[in-house]
Structure 1
Amino acid sequence: MDELTRVLTQALAELIAPTTAAYALAAIGLNLHFGYTGLLNMGQAGFMLLGAYGFGIATIAGAPFWLAFLIAMAAGALFALILGLPTLTLRGDYLAIVTISAAEIIRMLGRSTVFQEWTGGASGLKGNQFKETFQALSPLPDGRMALGPLEYINTGSDSWWTRLFAWGLVLVAVLFVWLITRSPWGRVLRGIREDEDAVRALGKSVFSYKMQALVLGGVLGALAGLVFVLPRSIAPDGLGRTVTFFVWTVMLLGGAATLFGPVLGSMLFFAVYMLLRAGMRTGLEGVVSSTFVEQFGGLLVGVTLMILVIFRPQGILGNKRELAFNVR
């Protein structure tokens, strides 16, 4: 019984973890790209990594938190502009190939010894180099606080303050998406997703709208990267292809083109993922290695994504009619 309680507590903790919030934020940005506009962006991890580096490098250089925060957003917007200008005329799998390649270029540049002075190379940037300005903003008193079975320090890397800040950003992002997708601008995005030639015939600049959606989703991705590294260090390999893969799973699980789908998908995905891993470690202790558990967990994620795409492409909250994407 004690082991079962421990496993359930770990799964419950994942519901409010900063990492879960980071994936929700990244999935909200991806939802603007794919769910509302029909852009097959397979490089969301690249936006996240640039946001993390923008925040970390600016903080180490002496910038206050909010300036570093803005620099992270600017990094995501700039990457979207550079990426979008030559590629937004592409459709479907061609755009997917370009975006995943661009994200890999960002990761390799982060690992490169050429920029090691700023990025730390393959080792990345240690958390104690860039977290002090964030932690200094905490309004919480020193010490620890328990909420039910969950207990964390009030201020620090893995703290209540990090969780409050992370989920506060998710709340602001949900409100922002709710406002813009219910505006005339949001209706144009849906039109582009379903038939961009018809939107073009009405005199709208399809390229301009796609670029705006790419920039806004990229900024949200960059902020997700900032949140992702607050409890840990910045490592280029920590924000690679697997992260994009997980973000897609989160978005499709909750439902593309839905407001709360990315948030629900992230919370459900990581709670179940932790439940499976912790349960297998406990139940199969001494039978299989921890490496096998991690690999098997990744395999289950892949199978889950396949099943979703085949049998429930609209996700939990989605509408199948919303998936009539013009990606030819």
Structure 2
Amino acid sequence: MNQTNAVPIRPLESQTKRPPTKWTKHLWGYLFLLPAVAIFFTFLWMPIGKGVIFSFYHIDFVKGDTFVGWDNYNRIFNDPDVWTSVKNTLYYMSLGVLIGFWVPILFAISISEMRRFQGFARIAAYLPYVVPVVVLYGLWRWLYDPVGPINAVTTRLGFDSVAFLTDTAWSMISLVVMETWQSFGSALLIYLAAILSIPRDWYEAAEIDGAGVWKRIRYITLPAIKNQIILLFLLQLIATSQGFQSQMAMLDGGPNNATLTYALLVVKYAFRQQDYGSASALGVMMFLVLGLLAVLQYRMSNKKEA
């Protein structure tokens, strides 16, 4: 019997069936994303849009809103407290970089070089991050007190007592030191994870070639975590540009407006002066600056992935 190699004929429906489009192929995925997108739009982008609109109005919950055009922007640009807050915010950001930015890097490198008690050191460095802010502020008020532990030690060493919270020269520095102690643990874990992902063969080869600790750090560790350093630097700039919590809770912008940051001024405009239009104008200006920093961070993140 002869064997035939006839090709079976497909039904007409299968021949004319069109391939699924991108939308139909991922339809269920888009449906699952829809609630998150709706919440994101409702609680983030809608308030941002309303803030832009309110910046052109005088907000009055009794008599109704009145369109004032650019008057709110003229007011904030002519307010000397605004420029004081901008200067203080830039000073606060600079102190955060000079004092606090390098602390987690140094601790991460030190812990990675430890041969013993490395796990204990990680936990001890991260513990301040979980301290509640109420406890944190009470603790550091006691430490900074004129008769507190820090001044007790400095006076015993022969130095004068320092008014950390009431001296305009020391108030912002004191807040940055406090926040560095409390928050450096989270950045430390990121740096430590990046350092521990470096192949150990590199360090072994460097040791065989006679490289000491400092040369290994300079030529292996720091170049390997360069991308993490850049990204966390940008994130710190964004975070410190919005700082107001410790300034408000500890000193309320004092002494003599020495710790009055931009974000704290927005809060005072809105909830103390009840000038929501000018507060919205301040928020719009901050949104534009932070948007530029966010774009820069996004570009750096894409460059890292590439």
Structure whose CA Rg is larger:
2
Give the TM-score taking structure 1 as reference length.
0.31
What is the TM-score when the length of structure 2 is the normalising length?
0.33
Point out which structure has higher relative CO (alpha carbons under 8 A, 6+ apart): 1
